[in-house]
Structure 1
Amino acid sequence: MSNNEGSGCSKFLGSAVLAGVVAIIGLGWAVYTFYQNNKDTQQELNNQATQISQQQTQIALAEEQLRINSDIATLQASTPNSSSAATLVGTRVAELEGTAVALSTMQSIMKATEQAISKTELLYEDTFDTPSGWNLKDGVKIENGNLIIFPGRDAVPNSPAVYADFTFESRFYISSMGAMAFYLRNQIPTCQNGSWNCSVQIVLDFKNPNQIFVARRFMGNQPPIDITRNSVNTLYLNGWNEVLVTAKGSNYKVYINRSSVLEFTDDVYTSGSFIIDNDPNSLSAINLDYIRIYSNK
């Protein structure tokens, strides 16, 4: 096999992968546009979009694996006419085998993630069509089907329920740099020493190009404790994002746009309610268009 043939094979594989990615992105955008224009059917469309995206990605990965396996078989069956050609064939086979392993690993990760964030019984849902469920005040309002929280403000349900093992899901829009937090298993009523904050806080910090995610425990008037943190750029500025947190016993998992960003254990709080806040240093308001809480038994 000549160097040109090896290069052509590589270019073909690269083009196939790129075409598959472009097709998936186009499909996702079409679903998203329809979703925005038909909010009354948002839950059904959200589920359909997720299923379509997962199916398309799995199909693309499977097809790529088939192509790679075929190329490996062809190369192994070839008869190189020189030692240098034989070395080239061996190198290319090793590269393709490595790619096949990487694709298989990616499929396993996708399957594990899908199982980890599976949802069961719906316990709570608010799509912010009416303002009755929230303690609206200066800096917090409900408008056009969105809960809007301005910098330095927090949103608190009027009648907060207590949840033990749960999956918390929300979709939010951020238009500029800032930070926000989800207070989970917040203790009701106020916690020790008259403080209002005893909770596990999931912080999304996007004030800088390097995004940071932090799991932080608050225990009243004591200094907060950072349980774990991670830096990975998964948030879309000037776009909609999905956060999903699973809490079961002392185990927590946090996903942003279906990518795992935090996984930790903390056994201080076993149940509680939730609060959402927008950091005082944020440059703009954040919009949420739904909150859902599922049982995680």
Structure 2
Amino acid sequence: MRASVIISTYNSPEWLEKVLWGYSVQTVSDFEIIIADDGSTHETKKMVEAISGKTQLSITHVWHKDEGFQKTRILNKAILATTTDYCIFTDGDCIPRMDFVEAHLSHRSFNRFLSGGHFPLSLQLSSLISKNNILNQECFDLSWLKRHGLKTNFKNIKLSKSKAIAKLMNFITTTKPSWNGGNASAWKKDILIVNGFDERMKYGGEDREFGERLINYGIKPKRVRYFAICAHLEHERGYVNDEAWQINNKIREITRKEKKVKTLYGLNLHV
């Protein structure tokens, strides 16, 4: 195994199943999957077991009791469950294009972390996409997507199959490379040095803070926005609240101001 794909999820077995079918047709197969489950009901476990029996995927399901939004905590537990030296992070609502893992592996380099993004889909399109649409990659085909409601937009160029266009767009984009929880990767040794994710943080910039500590340590971000492609399935976000944002912003402010590298509330809480 050359990489560990860590997929966060919470009570979205239908979306997660679509994501896992995407990993079943990757152009490379030497990776493991770690499901970082933030307290889902038994339905998610049943679905993961069923997919494991239908595919060649190597899946480890890491679960803890539902205590509200604890994504940073379950991500740290998932990191400790990995068996490789390279970790790719994504979410259970992001279907990977068939070259997603290969893109992360081919662009990784020492003293770097990779910063990707996602291609957003409407709720209608998200619901429409079937297992077969994923297996035959129609869900990444612009003509198919437009026939089913995708609006014309310059951002659609992200789904271009041209490597030359992808290289050019990564070069000219003004989007600042940062740690994006749905599409990012790093060496495990660097993750261990910064002590993983800060478990004081709920939803709202918790992934960015992790990336800021990597940068403070000297790990530079590298754009792969147009190389590592995943389609984001739309859903409700009932876990968003202003209080968590305020707490997270204060933590991020201290991280940036004091150039903090290591959190005191990370992986150390589980070893």
TM-score (norm 2): 0.26
TM-score (norm 1): 0.24
Using CA pairs under 8 Å that are at least 6 residues apart, name the structure with larger relative contact order, 1 or 2.
2
Answer with 1 or 2: which has the greater Rg: 1
Greater share of residues in strand: 1
